[in-house]
Structure 1
């Protein structure tokens, strides 16, 4: 289960720490933390991809509703496979990120490089990943980024 706020939460998880089931939403924080004798070294790098895929599925299921999700991914009264749904969602996310990144470039014009970047050591690096630009653009504009829970 993604989180313990869902009506589907039954208190079960593959990740259990000191007898406490940890919902998936917290796994990144758990695996990225610095301490704890329960922690498996470098485990996150193996789980990150699956975590991100599952997060994308959960976001789609919750927006606007599980029924709308099911309707969108049902063909001939049969729900599409997990991998096909995931492929569709990744394509939609890339398209939306690209659209927002281009909107940011167009809107900010020559100021873009100064606003959409970060400091690495003593150098200013302009962001080039559409997803990073899209997240910052949404934050700047005070609009919700679709791919955050």
Structure 2
């Protein structure tokens, strides 16, 4: 009887420990991945001898992210930047083949957009129940931010 009780308690403790673990999420570079330092405005060329380069602020404008094919359909976003800050995210495509897809996108997209604007990056949490849409949104958002940074 004691062995059985001990076995059940150990199993329950093991299950609780596993449920308490948080999954590892890979680091996603943010809108301003490099620290910004003093910079001068203008287009003159310098002849510095430093080994580093001055990080660029992403150009203002509108940038379209890659179309990400998810299990339930494509996801694509477009970002608007002003003065190096993320000021808007427009969703161009989300899964919408059936009513359930439209329902999920209807509650997930506003949450994802709000989080992206707050975080100023693609490092946002997935929306519960909309994992595939969330992951597609984040990947498309990151590709749009990458385009802005290289413009």
Q: If the TM-score is normalised by the length of the shorter chain, which range does it land in?
A: under 0.3
Per the normalisation by structure 1, the TM-score is 0.23
Structure of greater Rg: 2
| Structure ranking higher in helix proportion | 1
Whichever structure has more strand as a proportion of its residues is 2
TM-score of the two chains, using structure 2 as the length reference: 0.23
